Structure 1
């Protein structure tokens, strides 16, 4: 705990302390704090602290023009989101981590909030998510890291001024759940870990410049890629075509790639640099995808295929790899200026 009465940045950690006594000390400190403006309040709690204590702290801080609030709550306990937390006219950044239950029956209005982090937070229902996000009409940066809970099916993100969005998904216990994103000002999108049971529908992303997609399974892959028409920088970490999510052994679903009927506009007119790491030259469908990229990317300047090196006990595969490399290198490419690179990781 920082003890100066005019300190503008406050940090509290309940580690190895008796919680109720610690809570009383925090309240006393806040009441005696003289600074008219508190820049940030960071709190980490380990143990069963009462939700009302958090409500008292945030209520006091709301009168001190608090700009940044970070709550890191311990696992194994459930806390309720205090209404006083959503009544600040000055809060610009809100970071919530841990089992905090969001139960918002109707939206409020926090026009100053620009950055919101929701990490392992739980929600009463879909409506609570909508009401929470509707409370921040000028939100620009959002991080959503889903926890394991069954009550929430669809996470609706409606944010007209959102610029960056990061989603880390986990199986929620409900098949068919997922995300619906309506963010017409979105510039950068980062999505990780969506299972085969989840979907991700991006309704409006005409301003999207960069996207990073990792650990997303087949169903979600198709929906996401259809929405990335304007992307200029795209990083993909797609799951193998022969695997399902969370199975102990691979399940074969076919060794072919279903080519899209329409070539994406971003591939035809925007893609300039292409890097494929962990390229499996032994899989025929990966060869077909590589050909598809090279034959359609008209503005491509550099294409790099990176694969694992051949071990001393695999020299019999060297000739086959060279044949595959020559097939790609001699391919008639859409871009005459494309520099082709093949390397070992």
Structure 2
């Protein structure tokens, strides 16, 4: 359903399996769907408030937000999800992330960001997802607040479960390149790392980056590097 002029709505359906909604004007909503397996939300309201409870059977969630003051609070109801696609186009980097939320079922994470301070949210998600097997990272522009080179703590998923890493950037910054080498260096069970870069980037810079990735240290001897659009 689309937001339109709707200001408030509630979805309380015990048997519901799939729910999608989006819009610009909804101010508040309540969702109580214990059988839900698929959830998709595109909520661009600057002042919306929500209450989402009781989704123990959730398998997949696709969330797109242009304004989210607290990513941690936003994702609290989704601890059971197996596949999460998170599209952030605004993020408050000052949020304090703790260890009180764990995504024990999360196996696939797609993290897509635009003009945002993204790295604290991503680091928290990696730390909170001990069974993550597939990680997709896609960025268009933004800055960072975590220095990947200086991190001492390595998320458990990199040490024991991550097998596939996909990285896509139009015009990679130093921080985004550092994330790529950090994943390669610390992922002990990684099998495939696929890299894509914007077609308009200078060919020489592409070659330099490709060489940097090829020569970077790897935590897994089984890791195969695949380069798309680097020629």
Q: Given the two structures, how large is their TM-score scaled by the length of structure 1?
A: 0.48
Please state how far the C-alpha of 1:187 moved relative to its aligned partner.
1.2
Instruction: Quote the Cα distance in structure 2 between the aligned partners of 1:213 and 1:243.
Output: 13
- TM-superposed CA distance for 1:197, in Å, is 2.5
Structure 2 spans left out of the alignment, 5+ residues? none
Tell me, yes or no, if the aligned pair for 2:36 and 2:57 is still in contact at 8 Å.
yes
Q: How many residues align?
A: 206
* Alpha carbons of structure 1 residues 123 and 196: separation in structure 2 relative to 1, 3 Å: closer
Equivalences for residues 90-239 of structure 1 within 5 A: 90-103=15-28, 109-122=32-45, 124=47, 128-129=49-50, 131-132=51-52, 134-147=53-66, 149=67, 152-155=68-71, 156=73, 157-158=75-76, 159-171=78-90, 176=94, 182-198=102-118, 199-200=120-121, 201-202=124-125, 203-215=127-139, 217=142, 219=144, 222=148, 227=155, 228-229=157-158, 230-238=161-169
1:176 CA displacement: 3.6
- Greater length-normalized contact order (CA 8 Å, ≥ 6 residues apart): 2
Per the TM alignment, residue 242 of structure 1 is displaced from its structure 2 partner at its CA by: 5.3
Partner of 1:298 in structure 2? 221
2-structure distance, mates of 1:115, 1:303: 32
TM-score between both structures, scaled by the size of structure 2 = 0.68
Gaps of 5+ in 1: 1-70, 245-255, 309-343
Aligned pairs for 1:1-345 (under 5 A) are 71-74=1-4, 77=5, 79-83=6-10, 85=11, 87-103=12-28, 109-122=32-45, 124=47, 128-129=49-50, 131-132=51-52, 134-147=53-66, 149=67, 152-155=68-71, 156=73, 157-158=75-76, 159-171=78-90, 176=94, 182-198=102-118, 199-200=120-121, 201-202=124-125, 203-215=127-139, 217=142, 219=144, 222=148, 227=155, 228-229=157-158, 230-238=161-169, 240-241=172-173, 263-264=185-186, 266=187, 268=188, 270-278=189-197, 281-282=204-205, 287-293=211-217, 296-300=219-223, 302-305=224-227, 344=231
Q: Which has the larger radius of gyration?
A: 1
Report the secondary structure of 2:216's partner residue: helix
RMSD, aligned CA = 3.9
Superimposed CA distance per residue, residues 187-215 of structure 1 (whole angstroms, 9 cap, x where no aligned partner): 11111114442431214212211111100
